[in-house]
């Protein structure tokens, strides 16, 4: 339990650092560390598959992509849009309301709830595979359409267009 | 299930047709495939409806009728697309594919029985649209629409997923029937997390249907996208999202209506006023339709607000009327814009003389959107109002009536421009055959449904 609290503290700390640093590259690096602490959480929960996927895909691939995009966009302080104080103020109020609502909801939860404790071995690759290919076979297959759509779209948006547009 | 498989394969087939440069075959093949899918849906009508594939999807009369409506509207929209995409770019096959995939997602949203399917359906539907909104790549407004839609959509999906997670955390299941059973079994002991989940789901779904205060993306996205894609977004996608919305609330969350009714009531009232009052101030026809689609979302939420036996058929009638009228309105806008080059109200000046038949179709569409008797729109509004009346939401009813009156004003403004204003340009607006077919079908259906509403009301 003490490891959990330590890692949870680190998660929240680095998540806050992500949004409070001025430099976008530092922000992404803090996000990487945040994801790393999530990986530790998954291991603590005995969800090995999720931990590995999170480590490789999110921390590895997606974060590197983030850094590349940042490099290409060449963000700096001048391009940062100015937000008015009113918007910031409203954002803080709305965010705090959400936070209070959920803290209120989570506070009354019993921790020995069977759904919270769950099935200890559910996160192992073997069990996950069984669930994925038995109960959730249809969504699994249909997500191929989602990926195909995204692929077609990426090619479509990136391809060179010769014709100019007309009205219509 | 037949329809979903047909549409997925059809999308891939159309991609291959594009690869082999069979450009003239794209539209006929797509239409034939859609008709086949429609046939499959009709075939399942009399089959006993059970959740299939470990409770993932269910094809009951509710989902079948909404799916059929979506497919039929897509056929009408694709008929309008004949020369449309060719003017925008060379990659026509991909656009058809994306529309077909988006429709597949819409049908999944209509027929889900498990949150996993709802999520995947919504994502397939939206991801295809993010791209379609931005297909006019040299146009800044189109780019803006695409990016805005993508960011807002991703954000709202986050809310939706968090909501689903909280529901799972408190009930231990993604299955609608299991969650319902959980609510029925523990009427008092529902975890507070579940309520948080409901709120987040509500936020996510309101984003998707474009109800205020989560409507900020709607006007810019509808305005910036190519008109035909806007038509698809504001009809098929909206109808499917409403079907999913209604299914969740009418099937699962009804016993907790004391909790979510006040929240939804606030959303409805804000939506009605914001949509109507801002629509009143627009000078662009397209933007006016975008805002009016927000207010229509408000009317459709009535059915969810007071869920009863008539909710499903009411929403079906309303969305059929709204879909048909929107297709005519946007189709008319395409023709007028092609001729005049602007989508302001002034470009409709004198249309009654320049093309009486087009002006007549648009008039019928406007009357239907405004909810004048003898059109389908009236039946839809009537069903919604009577739903609310049964629940004694008197204040809401009065507010809605005021809004309907405001709506009549800005819809009839177009009619006034068409018939009573003189235009400088005197040339006639030509109307291709495919537009004529679609307009005839849509106008006849609008009037027939308005005169004989039983045709659609007995579906569910």
**CB-based contacts of B429-433 (< 8 A; 24+ apart in sequence):** B429/B335, B429/B336, B429/B339, B429/B351, B429/B354, B429/B355, B429/B358, B430/B335, B430/B339, B430/B355, B431/B335, B431/B355, B431/B357, B431/B358, B432/B82, B432/B83
Separation CA A39–CA A36 (nearest Å): 5
Tokens 């479509």 locate to A156
Along the 168 residues of chain A, how does pLDDT read in single tens digits?
788 889 999 999 999 998 888 888 888 889 888 989 999 988 888 888 888 888 888 888 888 888 888 888 776 655 556 667 888 888 889 888 888 888 877 777 666 556 655 666 777 888 888 888 888 899 999 999 999 999 998 888 887 766 544 444
Which residues of B, range 66-105, sit inside 8 Å of A by Cβ? 84, 87-91, 94, 97-98, 101-102, 104-105
DSSP state for residue B284 in the 8-state scheme: B
Q: What's the pLDDT score for residue A114?
A: 62
Cβ atoms of B95 and B85 closer than 8 Å: yes
Element (H, E) at A55: none
| A53 closest CA partner among A153, A165, A144, A129 | A129
For residue A32 the two structure tokens come to 């990487």
Residue in chain A nearest B200 by alpha carbon: A98
| A153 closest CA partner among B133, B55, B182 | B133
* B contacts of A164 (beta carbons < 8 Å): 138
Q: What is the pLDDT of residues B95-137, one digit of tens each?
A: 899 999 999 999 999 999 999 999 999 999 999 999 998 888 8
Radius of gyration of chain A (CA): 21
Question: Is B138 in contact with A164 (Cβ distance < 8 A)?
Answer: yes
Separation CA A62–CA A52 (nearest Å): 14
Which residues of A, range 77-116, sit inside 8 Å of B by Cβ? 101-102, 104-106, 108-109, 113-116
Along the 460 residues of chain B, how does pLDDT read in single tens digits?
888 999 999 999 999 988 887 778 888 889 999 999 999 888 888 877 788 888 888 888 888 999 999 999 999 999 888 777 777 777 788 889 999 999 999 999 999 999 999 999 999 999 999 999 888 888 888 888 899 999 999 989 999 999 999 888 888 888 888 888 888 888 777 878 888 889 899 999 998 888 878 888 888 899 888 889 999 999 999 999 999 999 998 888 888 888 888 888 889 888 988 888 888 888 888 888 888 899 899 888 888 888 877 888 888 989 999 999 999 999 988 888 888 778 888 888 888 888 888 888 999 999 999 888 888 888 888 888 888 887 777 888 888 888 888 888 888 888 888 888 877 766 777 788 888 888 899 999 888 888 888 877 777 7
Cα four-point dihedral sign A16, A22, A24, A30:
negative
- Cβ atoms within 10 Å of B344's Cβ, excluding its own: 18
- Nearest by CB to residue A168, choosing from B57, B102, B227, is B227
Question: Is B137 in contact with A145 (Cβ distance < 8 A)?
Answer: no
Question: Is A166 in contact with B88 (Cβ distance < 8 A)?
Answer: yes
Q: What's the pLDDT score for residue A165?
A: 47
- pTM for this predicted structure: 0.90
Which CATH architecture describes the domain A1-75? Up-down Bundle (1.20)
Q: What's the pLDDT score for residue A161?
A: 67
Is residue B213 reached through a cis peptide bond, with omega within 30 degrees of 0 on the bond before it?
Answer: yes
The values of phi and psi at residue B57, to 5°, are: -130, 155
Residue in chain A nearest B122 by alpha carbon: A146
**Distinct helix (H) and strand (E) counts, chain B:** 21, 0
Beta bridge partners of B112: B57
ipTM: 0.87
Compute the C-alpha angle A129/A132/A133, nearest 5°.
85
Cβ atoms of B163 and B198 closer than 8 Å: yes
């Amino acid at each position: 339990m003490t490891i959990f609290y330590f890692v949870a503290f680190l998660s929240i700390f680095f998540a806050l650092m992500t949004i409070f640093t001025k430099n976008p590259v530092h922000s992404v690096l803090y996000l990487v560390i945040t994801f790393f602490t999530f990986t530790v959480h998954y291991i603590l929960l005995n969800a090995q598959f999720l931990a590995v996927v999170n480590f490789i895909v999110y921390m590895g691939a997606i974060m590197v992509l983030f850094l590349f995009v940042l490099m290409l966009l060449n963000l700096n302080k001048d391009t940062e849009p100015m937000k008015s104080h009113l918007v910031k103020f409203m954002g803080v109020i709305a965010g705090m309301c959400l936070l209070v609502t959920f803290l209120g909801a989570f506070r009354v939860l019993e921790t020995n709830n069977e759904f919270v404790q769950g099935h200890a071995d559910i996160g192992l690759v073997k069990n996950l595979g069984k669930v994925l290919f038995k109960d959730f076979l249809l969504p699994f297959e249909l997500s191929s359409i989602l990926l195909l759509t995204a692929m077609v779209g990426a090619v479509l948006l990136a391809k060179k267009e010769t014709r100019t547009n007309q009205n219509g | 299930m037949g329809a979903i498989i047909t549409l997925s394969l059809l999308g891939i087939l159309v991609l291959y047709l594009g690869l082999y440069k069979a450009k003239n075959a794209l539209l006929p093949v797509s239409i034939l495939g859609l008709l086949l899918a429609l046939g499959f849906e009709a075939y399942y009508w009399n089959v006993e409806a059970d959740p299939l594939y470990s409770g993932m999807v269910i094809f009951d009369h509710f989902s079948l009728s909404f799916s059929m409506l979506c497919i039929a509207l897509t056929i009408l929209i694709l008929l309008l697309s004949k020369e449309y995409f060719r003017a925008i770019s060379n990659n026509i096959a991909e656009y058809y594919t994306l529309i077909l995939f988006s429709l597949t997602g819409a049908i999944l949203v209509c027929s889900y029985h498990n949150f996993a399917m709802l999520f995947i359906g919504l994502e397939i539907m939206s991801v295809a649209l993010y791209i379609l909104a931005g297909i006019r790549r040299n146009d800044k407004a189109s780019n803006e629409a695409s990016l805005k839609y993508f960011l807002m959509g991703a954000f709202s999906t986050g809310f939706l997923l968090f909501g689903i997670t909280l529901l799972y955390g408190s009930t231990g299941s993604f299955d609608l029937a299991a969650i319902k059973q959980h609510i029925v079994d523990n009427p008092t002991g529902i975890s507070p997390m579940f309520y948080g989940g409901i709120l987040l789901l509500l936020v996510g779904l309101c984003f998707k249907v474009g109800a205020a205060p989560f409507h900020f993306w709607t006007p810019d996205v509808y305005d910036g996208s190519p008109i035909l894609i806007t038509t698809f977004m504001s009809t098929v996608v909206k109808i499917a999202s409403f079907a999913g919305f209604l299914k969740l609330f009418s099937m699962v969350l009804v016993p907790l209506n004391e909790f979510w009714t006040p929240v939804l009531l606030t959303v409805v009232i804000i939506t009605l006023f914001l949509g109507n009052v801002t629509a009143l101030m627009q000078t662009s026809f397209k933007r006016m339709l975008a805002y009016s689609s927000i207010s229509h979302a408000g009317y459709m939420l009535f059915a969810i607000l007071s869920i009863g036996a008539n909710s499903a058929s009411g929403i079906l009638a309303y969305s059929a009327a709204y879909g048909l009228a929107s297709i005519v309105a946007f189709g008319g806008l395409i023709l007028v814009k092609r001729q005049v080059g602007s989508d302001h109200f002034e470009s409709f000046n004198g249309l009654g003389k320049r093309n009486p038949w087009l002006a007549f179709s648009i008039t019928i569409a406007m009357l239907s959107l405004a909810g004048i008797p003898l059109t389908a729109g009236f039946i839809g509004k009537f069903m919604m109002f009577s739903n609310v009346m049964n629940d004694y939401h008197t204040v809401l009813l009065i507010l809605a009536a005021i809004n309907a009156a405001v709506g009549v004003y800005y819809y009839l403004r177009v009619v006034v421009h068409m018939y009573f204003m003189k235009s400088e340009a005197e040339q006639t607006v030509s109307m291709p055959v495919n537009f004529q077919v679609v307009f005839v079908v849509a106008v006849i259906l609008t009037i027939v449904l308005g005169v004989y509403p039983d045709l659609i009301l007995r579906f569910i």
